[in-house]
Amino acid sequence: MLKNYSSATEFYLLGFHGSKELHDILFATFFFLYSVTVMGNMVIIVIVCVDKRLQSPMYFFLGHLSVLEILITSVAVPLMLWGLLLPGMQAMSLTACSAQLYLYLSLGTSELVLIGAMAVDRYVAVCNPLRYNIIMDSHTCIWVVIVSWVFGFLFQIWPVYATFQLTFCKSNVIDHFLCDRGQLLKLSCDDSLFTEFILFLMAVFIIVGSMIPTIISYTYIISTILKIPSASGRKKAFSTCASHFTFVVIGYGTCLFLYVKPKQTQAAEYNRVASLMVLVVTPFLNPFIFTLRNDKFIEAFRDVMKRCYQLLKD
């Protein structure tokens, strides 16, 4: 425990509470989920890159979304797994803590921007199919991806900088498995009310700001699909958007639950569960959501596997 007003230069992550047996169960569970997440998203990236049938904006964005999912989960999960194997608390320097928080928030922001862009892409595909190739050309798609990456990393510079300008003198023990901003604010002796309010406004801006084009896009999409006379036509049109819509509901629901609230210094257990949703559950579900009901992707996957088998056989 720190005394006086000397700021911490090193933090200790408390991780998960419970017995060694519970830690072993959690390690096995999270290791399995992390492994499937990395392998599943890597498969998506490879298939999108090598199969010419998937050279369209939808799959181009999906490939970048998979890259973001791998990076987001890799920012914290390997360290979390290491902490479950070792007894006691994990030491982390101030620099490492700030780097982890910055990468976590920046990658998450880039993902939200990309999800909004994917919603607009689905709107154009369903509502303006004849102009789709003109509007969503390769130049536009590349710029959308560049903007989403650059915006995410620029947008989070000030929030992370402001967080680490505070004096952490109450303790240097973080009751979490990663450098969580809410728990860091709890350790500060400074009056962080104004900083928390600005961080809240910025979270509202990025989450709600990316939700608006998503909501508008899906309002038009649903309206257009309902006007299709044949049931088979409606089913086909909805199938092109169902996977993205499912991902949107899970992703935005978790982010709203975690970040859009004026008081960010909430209970540690609340933070842990919400962070697990963002870092473990959502990235794990991504490959299944986007591929299981996608006939074109499944066909491309089978063809790539056949080619690999033929190469190995020869």
CATH number at residue 287: 1.20.1070.10
With CA atoms as reference, report the closest residue to 61 among 132, 133, 119.
Answer: 119
Residue 282 lies in a domain: yes
- pLDDT score, position 3: 45
Which range marks the domain in which residue 20 is found?
A: 10-312
With CA atoms as reference, report the closest residue to 144 among 211, 65, 222.
Answer: 65
Rounded CA-CA distance 197/218 in Å is 31
Distant-in-sequence, close-in-space partners of 131: CB < 8 Å, separation ≥ 6: 124
With CA atoms as reference, report the closest residue to 262 among 183, 179, 202.
Answer: 202
- pLDDT score, position 67: 95
Residue 84 lies in a domain: yes
pTM for this structure?
Answer: 0.87
Residue 3 lies in a domain: no
Residue 2 lies in a domain: no
Question: Distance from CA of residue 83 to its chain's centroid?
Answer: 22
Residue 28 lies in a domain: yes
With CA atoms as reference, report the closest residue to 108 among 137, 69, 82.
Answer: 69
The count of domains in the chain is 1
Bridge partners, 12 (sequence order): 91, 173
Query: Which parts of the chain sit beneath pLDDT 50?
Result: 1-4, 265
Rounded CA-CA distance 168/189 in Å is 6
- pLDDT score, position 14: 87
Residue 5 lies in a domain: no
- pLDDT score, position 258: 64
Residue 204 lies in a domain: yes
Residue 1 lies in a domain: no
Contact 180, 271 (CB under 8 A): yes
